[in-house]
Chain A
Amino acid sequence: MSEIKEKIILEAKNVEAWFGDFQAVKGISVAYGEKTINAIIGPSGCGKSTYLRTLNRIHEETEGAYVRGEVLLEGQNIYDKRIDVVDVRKRIGMVFQKPNPFPSLSILDNVVVGLRLQGINKRSTLMEVAESCLKKAALWEEVKDKLNSLGTSLSGGQQQRLCIARALAINPPVLLMDEPTSALDPIATAKIEELMNEIKRDYTVIIVTHNMQQAARISDYTSFFVYGKMIEHGLSSDIFTNPKEKQTEDYISGRFG
């Protein structure tokens, strides 16, 4: 494992994820530095998304699914029995593969619903948060005149940026992204990659992607997964130019996967 220059914010220690008898993720240990973009690449069905979902304890919401190992957020194990799962998820946001704005909520409400349901009702505060998050998500200019339209009335790419704004609104230091651009066209994808460079200033991002060019373009660090195991982890510049493992080299040069 390569050493990390930045202060460590999130660390997986021997994480295993199970669906009943099936083990999807096998003993992953990685540390993530503060305000970095970390890509996870690997062939389909290799447990990337499942691993990502263990990091904010969403994995356990699936029937029969459970996790072993530790995930330390700023030194504290999020799987500790004394920890409230709700607090964990407030500090580790998530953007999903398919854009999923809440149906029958307006664009504005979609962004601030997290805050509102936490009891923050002051209109000026909510408007401020909405504007700044929509700006960070590079959506503000497109929606500022129709904040009361339904979130689902936007295009797919806009919906995904709305979901990013929604995740940013509760201001989590860590943001997980599960193939956020796989359902989008190249223009929408470019917009999201652009905004990721912006949000990197304030947030730590862990992104699962199928797209190796994307991982190379945007990430500081990259992990390569095969069959639930992490084959290699390191600086993206190293992984994509000079991988240590034969399997990684084969994968990034398109010889397998």
Chain B
Amino acid sequence: MEARGKKVLIRIYRPQIKKFLDAEVEVTKGTTILDILKYVKKNIDGSLAFRYQCEMGSCGSCGVVVNGKPVLACQTEVLSLKKDKIIIRPLYNFPVIKDLVVDQEEFMFKKYYKIQPLLKINCEFDELISPRGEFIIPPKVQEKISVYARCINCGLCMAACPTVSFNDEFLGPYVLLSMYRYYLDPRIGMKESLIEKTVGNGKGIISCHYIRSCSRVCPENIEVAECIQKLKKEYFKNVLLITRYEKPEINIRKFLSSPTSKILQ
């Protein structure tokens, strides 16, 4: 870390020993929370455990709580926090494995695996394994899906959600967002079943109180809370049988079924 920076006190909470690891670190413009964690691991205590990979906000590995707010360590500049004391903790609402490493498998991904929002693709298996062209999807529809598909699976929304904190059954913003993304997609079928899966016994959309913590912490600025509200609306429309789901057509590319196919097989 460069000299002539500002000195800040870093306190990293280590739940397994219920103690803070304290360090005074000099930070300059651009220094991120992740830079500090790496600095501490390299120079002060090599046993400090935290996850990180891409260092550019793409992989969603480095979620931590900084001064009470779930953030991505690699995307959080220390000076922008305007504090002399920085407290870093593991993400809320997840069981801790060690230091800042939490178990996202159990409380987030497993719920998602169970739901499987991609229920059926609107074409035959043969078309999937040797496609003749693409589905015709209007750019406006595609853009809308892409916004929600931007989710990087970091789980900050799950860490911020008050309902998740007391209701283990609740699917949570991450899972519901993914369901909404597939609900919007005309390529995906069985929408009635998908929408059915969003409700039930405390786990579903009705348990969301629209506090919007999820939207506020999302590093991709996705309006997660709004998605959940929209799912509620779709649920009631579905119950009242006023939604019709249309399958898109396929734009057939002629050359794909002609000269090259010999070589492909």
Are A and B physically bound partners?
A: no
**A interface residues with partner B (beta carbon < 8 Å):** none
**B interface residues with partner A (beta carbon < 8 Å):** none
